[in-house]
């Protein structure tokens, strides 16, 4: 026998699966939902489903977008010679908020973490190397020896990447991933820099304030 409503229990159950939402918070959210006007609940439910159905990954940078390629990759005002590599789409948002960065992004979709069984093949590493190799009209080869077709990323041809900024979170996995990417990018002879100076160790890029993030971006250093 259930002392409370099974329906409410189920809602609490679903809400508590969300990150950072514990059982207590889930109960509070469920109580709030019950008090919301019906139309607002329907709108919330629709927004959840629409986010799932309509939002896709940009085929170039793997950021979340309604249209592929995403607005950043399509923009003619961005500096196509600089690619900033981040872990998650939320990091793109954080960096865009600083208004400081005018280059392009590459979302890895996580970090290398042997403990969690996440290796380079589970991330968009290959695609990053392809982007760096792609615009080289000189026929530069990727580390595996293959030569990529120019313009394969859909962007304008002939803008060689001259810098890759690694903007992983300052923790062990972030360091491991940066080191790995640094090694992989070394043969291309481009600048590989890393932000995170000034970011709190173990902190999350996503939650850094804009000033700190701007400074970290400005103070980036070579690997
Ligand atoms: Zn994109």
Tens of pLDDT, residue by residue over 179-214, are 999 999 999 999 999 986 566 666 677 777 777 788
Average pLDDT over residues 20-47: 96
Ligand 1 centroid vs 15 CA: distance in angstroms? 30
pLDDT value, residue 196: 63
Three-class secondary structure of residue 56 per DSSP? strand
Average pLDDT over residues 7-14: 95
Q: How far, in Å, CA of 68 to CA of 63, rounded?
A: 10
Ligand 1 ion: Cβ-proximal residues, 5 Å cutoff:
58, 60-61, 69-70, 73
Q: Which residue has the tokens 């609940």?
A: 41
How many other CB atoms are found less than 10 A from the CB of residue 36?
A: 12
Specify the higher pLDDT residue, 1 or 139: 1
pLDDT value, residue 199: 62
pLDDT, mean over the chain: 86
Ligand 1 centroid vs 168 CA: distance in angstroms? 18
* pTM exceeds 0.85 for this model: no
């Amino acid at each position: 026998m259930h002392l409370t409503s099974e329906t409410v229990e189920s809602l609490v159950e679903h809400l508590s699966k969300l990150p950072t939402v514990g059982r207590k918070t889930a109960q509070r959210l469920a109580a709030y939902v019950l008090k919301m006007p019906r139309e607002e609940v329907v709108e919330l439910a629709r927004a959840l489903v629409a986010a799932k159905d309509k939002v896709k990954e940009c085929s170039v940078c793997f950021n979340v977008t309604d249209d592929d390629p995403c607005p950043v990759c399509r923009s003619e005002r961005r500096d196509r010679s600089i690619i900033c590599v981040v872990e998650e789409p939320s990091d793109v948002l954080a960096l865009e908020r600083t208004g400081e960065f005018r280059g392009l992004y590459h979302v890895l979709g996580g970090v290398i973490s042997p403990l969690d069984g996440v290796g380079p093949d589970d991330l968009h590493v290959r695609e990053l190397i392809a982007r760096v190799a792609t615009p080289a009209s000189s026929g530069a080869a990727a580390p595996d020896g293959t030569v990529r077709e120019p313009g394969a990323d859909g962007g304008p041809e002939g803008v060689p990447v001259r810098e890759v900024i690694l903007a992983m979170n300052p923790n062990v996995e972030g360091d491991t991933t940066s080191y790995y990417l640094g090694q992989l990018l070394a043969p291309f002879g481009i600048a590989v820099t890393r932000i995170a100076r000034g970011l709190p160790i173990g902190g999350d890029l996503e939650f850094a304030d804009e000033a700190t993030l701007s400074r970290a971006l400005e103070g980036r250093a070579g690997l």
